[in-house]
Amino acid sequence: MDEALLRSLTPSVLTVLVRRGADFAAAEDAVQEALVEAVRVWPDDPPRDPRGWLITVAWRRFLDATRADTARRRREDLADREPAAGPAPSTDDTLQLYFLCAHPSLTPSSAVALTLRAVGALTTRQIARAYLVPEATMAQRISRAKRTVSGVRFDRPGDVATVLRVLYLVFNEGYSGDVDLAAEAIRLTRRLAAAVDHPEVAGLLALMLLHHARRASRIAPDGSLVPLAEQDRGRWDTASIAEGIDILQAALARDRLGEFQAQAAIAALHADAPTTAETDWVQIVEWYDELVRLTDSPVVRLNRAVAVGEADGPRAGLAALAELDDTLPRHAAAAAYLHERAGDPRTAARLYAEAAHRASSLAERDHLTRQAARLNARRRRGAGP
């Protein structure tokens, strides 16, 4: 039973049903039922044409559901119309499905859930587990999302940027439960990159590959965060890094820079360096300047200040930081780091403790608390008898 094959066929099966005139929400339900059927039947009786099999079964399920509906409400003749064979769906169809699932009328959480189900072919239960909500809640979230987009014309081109934002959200969620959301995001972005020729899609794919390559070294066996400088670079996935860099270079060569390409360029410079000290920080600062120009984001300016601290020394980093709003997330953490490097462990310890108080994840809070504890313990030893 090839689950990867089954899941990769799903978007095209869904688009065939929609092309034949099925309403999106009903088509999506029918495809999920066909998947369940495939999981049951295929191990003993594998089809010669898996995609054709799925289309036939899903269409039949759709007709059954529509007939039941029709009988009940005494309307609609769609059910008895035999579908025209229609042209084979192209990659454009898959692209339309991405657009639909990331439609601007959806909230981010709805777009994420719908993308994972309709494009990613995950079950509602898997998505619910990944986001730690009850299955009933996730089912409602998905069916609301389907209703929201059910009136959207399927043949209008959408905005690739909205799709990229959704995939980026999925990637950043990491993994919990039995679904590896980061790997799933990479799979979906890879497919998107095959369906549309767009340098920012390539940029996002490169960014994901470059970060994913370092995942094994980011988390210690006890679950604590390992900062970049302390990561065991021997554990980085060099194949993934090489692929990410290739994709990025091809995208950059097209001279249509965007924020994901710039972020990937920064990740590539980190991935390329044998140590933190040998990292090309000057070039990283230049990429941050590009990013500031592209996004004007305060979070980017904060990261830039840290990079300036590496390129031009901690004093320069602190000066860059001083221009920013100190209520920004991670502002205190960045300041603590730079103060320690500038030789002021007392201020650094205080700021690490403050940063821990304001952390938005448990792993981050614990990491920052440990940093404060490390500096405080060193000071006590230094001042001791």
Host H or E run for residue 222: none
Q: Residues 140, 145, 151, CA angle at the centre, nearest 5°?
A: 135
Nearer to other proteins, 327 or 360 (CB): 360
**Among all chains, which residue has been given the structure tokens 């959408």?**
158
Min dist CB 110 to other proteins, Å, is 7
Binding mask 242-271 toward other proteins (x if CB under 8 A, else -) reads ---------------------x--xx--x-
Residue 318 interacting with other proteins (CB under 8 A): no
Nearer to other proteins, 358 or 374 (CB): 358
The CA distance from 331 to 364, in Å, is: 13
Nearer to other proteins, 267 or 318 (CB): 267
Instruction: Give me the amino acid identity at 279.
Output: T
Host H or E run for residue 180: strand 179-180
Residue 358 interacting with other proteins (CB under 8 A): no
Task: Give every CB contact of residue 16 below 8 A, 6+ residues apart in sequence.
Answer: 55, 59, 86, 89, 93
**Segment contacting other proteins (CB under 8 A): 2-10, 76-84, 86-94, 128-136?**
128-136
Min dist CB 65 to other proteins, Å, is 21
Min dist CB 289 to other proteins, Å, is 15
Indicate which single residue of 24, 59, 171, 352 sits in contact with other proteins (rule: CB under 8 A).
Answer: 171
Nearest to 204 by CA among 256, 265, 143, 159: 265
Total residues contacting other proteins by CB under 8 A comes to 44
Helix (H, G, I), strand (E, B) or coil at 225: strand
The CA distance from 123 to 3, in Å, is: 12
Q: Partners of 176 in the beta sheet? A: 179
Residue 224 interacting with other proteins (CB under 8 A): no
Contact set with other proteins (CB under 8 A): 107-110, 112-113, 131-134, 136-138, 140-142, 144, 168, 171-174, 176, 182, 207, 211-212, 215, 218, 225, 228, 263, 266-267, 270, 303, 306, 359-365
